Amino acid sequence: MANSAQARKRARQSVKRREHNVSMRSRLRTAIKQVKKLIETGDKEKANAAFIQTVSTVDTIAGKGIIHKNKAARQKSRLSAALKEMA
């Protein structure tokens, strides 16, 4: 356990930050799964709309440093390629 007041505060902050990051990462995974599910069903219009929202979510989370920018680019690229395959 932390001994100094500063260390105790940092421990509290890290717990809060971890909870926030976990929820953001979960939101990202859910958005990606939703797009994949819509692609599988073959509903191109809904898949496109979900893809646009997901790209925004991915960019936001990458900008905050929760995931790496290259991982964000890879995910967007794979979703985009899957959408193009539908046509």
- For the cut 90, the answer to whether the pLDDT of residue 77 exceeds it is yes
Structural domain span for residue 67: 5-86
Q: Looking at this protein, which amino acid is placed at residue 50?
A: A
What total number of domains does the chain contain?
Answer: 1
Quick: pLDDT tens for 36-59.
999 999 999 999 999 999 999 999
Helix (H) or strand (E) holding 84: helix 69-86
How many whole angstroms separate alpha carbon 16 and alpha carbon 31? 23
CATH number of the CATH domain containing 72: 1.20.58.110
Q: How confident is the model at residue 78 (pLDDT cuts 50, 70, 90)?
A: very high
Cα-based angle 77, 57, 33 (whole degrees, multiple of 5): 65
| Residues above pLDDT 90, as percent of the chain | 93
Computed over every residue of the chain, the mean pLDDT equals: 95
